[in-house]
Structure formats: structure tokens, C-alpha cells
A and B are shown apart, each in its own frame.
Chain A
């Protein structure tokens, strides 16, 4: 992954306007927060392979960045995005990485379902 630049991300979002897409949206503190000094509750959510289509998609902020996708009947919102990659499958992967390189947020769009089941390496 590499640091987000807004122009590239905006172009990627514009390319996907009106398409039927698969969404992966996630935020995570990690599952082991209870073991930390503050014994915090874990806060984790993800949606994988939800079908969406957006009529307007925008990246904002000065880093970390926000992305909002305006759907026909709702919104997709993510804050805390820092890094991105378009992988070999053409999937747009946006992520928030903390100073340790740990993922805190992910917003990903794909024209085909994100992979499930057996890994390529298995």
C-alpha cells in the first residue's frame, strides 16, 4: 500500500460511478483490547461483499482522509483512511493504518466478489 493522494483516489472513485460493485467496509480495534492496560472493549464491525452502486463518490480531508459514497437510498462513509492500493484484481483497497502499521479501517470496492474460502497459497 502507499500513502493516499486525493487526486488518484478521486479518479478511482469516478471510474467506478454507477457500476454494480462489491463493498468491504470495516473498522477494528483488534480483538485483544481487554488485555490492554485500559481493558477497553473491542469495537469491530465489517460488511463483506455487500452490493452497492453510487451516483457520487468523494474523497475529502488533508490526511487522514474521508470517503463518502452517495447511494440511491443511503450512504457509505469512512474516516481515518491513510493508504491505498489497486491490486492485481483491479480492486480499490483503501485503508487506515496506525503508526504500527496496523489496520484500523478499510473501505474496498470490487467489480467481482472479494475472495472467500480457500486461499491461493493453500
Chain B
């Protein structure tokens, strides 16, 4: 149940890291707020599932309308970005072999919605899609407020389900892996994504407005130090998750007391 350690909401039965096993899944649902979160946080895992013949879907919270990246150099604008990112996400999901649905929420504003309303929306999709695993952001360790709020709503959605029907909740924590290990311990599940690295990178490239600048920097870094940077290594070698206990209060609930 609830871990004693501050900042944790993990299922305490997971004391060591196990490999992600796509063959053990029948369907995997990703729930993140922005077009490109699915590729950054779980693109390799989704591709592994696709290769194993496991159904995957992405429930995307917003259209990413408030993103500040517009391409490098900028090729779109604040008002056209939502359409640009919708198309980019459709292309990325095609690369990953992933179905796609939108929740239609406003970028940056998920935390100001009623969490129960957002959770009910997520729950309807979970019940319809019947995933064995749901992947979302670790509420309280998402860095972006939308990441925290939608991760929280996803935990609430699973909590409201009968125990026997609940999917496993895998959570992505954002930030420096060393800091996260200190705060949260070793990740519970690790996906080795080296074999699907190119599909993940292609999915990220499909998000051109958001990733053009990152790829330019990665190429510059690679030229300078003659090896892959830590960031790109993290992106292409492994994806790590914590198994959340849906009955334990999330950090957002605990912060409210």
C-alpha cells in the first residue's frame, strides 16, 4: 500500500526492476495530455507492443494548442498550431501502429477542470478499450501541470473500477534519472527499446513543430563530442516506469491534505 517514503505512490510489492514484457499484454492504453508525449514517454514501449501484435491506443488530453515551439525556424503560429499538431500526432501514431482518440481539453488547463469529470472521461475509454496496462505520467512527478493532472485523473479512473477489472498503471516520471531514483527508488518496469529505436525516432520526427529544434541540437551535440548525448541515449535505449497503487492517494491528493 502507501509507501512511507515522501513523494511516492507506488505499489510496494514491486521491489526490483522487471523487464517490460509485451507478450504478457493484450492491449495497452497510453493516457497523456499532449501530442508528442506518447512518443517521448512511451514511443518505444508502444512500438514493442505493436511488434508483438498487442493492440495499442493513445488517449490524448489536449491538442497542444499552447506549445511554444513552432518549428525551427517557426513555420506555424499560435492559432494554426492545434491543427498542425493534430496532423503530426496522427502521423506519429501511424508510425507506432497506435490508435488515437482526443479528449478535447485545453492545453495547460487540465488541472483546473474537475478531476472527477476528467477521470470519468478516461474511465469510459479504459472500459471500452479494456487494456491490461495503462501508461500515464506519475502524478506529482510530471514536471508539467497537465502531466500531473492527467496522471492523477487516470489513477482516479482506475480506482473507480472494480478491482478485478483494473488495468495495471505504469507511470512515467519526468526529469533527471539520478534525482528520480533518489526520490522514487529504482523503476519497477524497464522496456529495452533498442530494437525499436528507429520507430521511436521516426514518431518523434513526425512531431516536426515540436522536435525539429531537438534533433538539430542532437546532431550538433553528436558532432561535438563524437558520441550520443545522455539525453538521446535515454530517449533511444530504455523507457522506465513505476507501478502505481491506484488505491493510494496521489501526491496531488496529499498536497491538498
A residues sitting closer than 8 Å to B (CB atoms) are: 1, 24, 26, 28, 30-32, 34-35, 44, 46, 83, 85, 87, 89, 91, 93, 95, 97, 100-104, 106, 108, 114-122
Contact = CB atoms under 8 A, between A and B. Distances in A.
B257 interface: no
Contacts of B72: 100-101
Say which size band chain B's interface belongs to.
Answer: 20 to 34
A44 B102 CA distance: 25
Interface in B57-104: 63, 66, 68-74, 77-80, 82-84, 86-87, 90, 102, 104
A122 B79 contact: no
Contacts of B104: 117-118
B165 interface: no
A32 B174 CA distance: 10
Contacts of B144: 31-32
B128 to A, nearest CB: 19
B81 to A, nearest CB: 9
B238 interface: no
Given A116-B106, A119-B83, A1 B77 contact: yes
**Chain A's interface: helix, strand, loop or mixed, by majority?**
loop
A44 B70 contact: no
B143 interface: yes
A87 B80 CA distance: 9
B74 A121 contact: no
A111 B176 CA distance: 45
A114 B79 contact: yes
Given A1-B77, A101-B74, 16 more contacts: A26-B66, A28-B66, A31-B143, A31-B144, A46-B66, A93-B77, A101-B70, A101-B72, A101-B213, A102-B69, A103-B70, A108-B78, A119-B82, A119-B83, A121-B83, A121-B87
A28 to B, nearest CB: 5
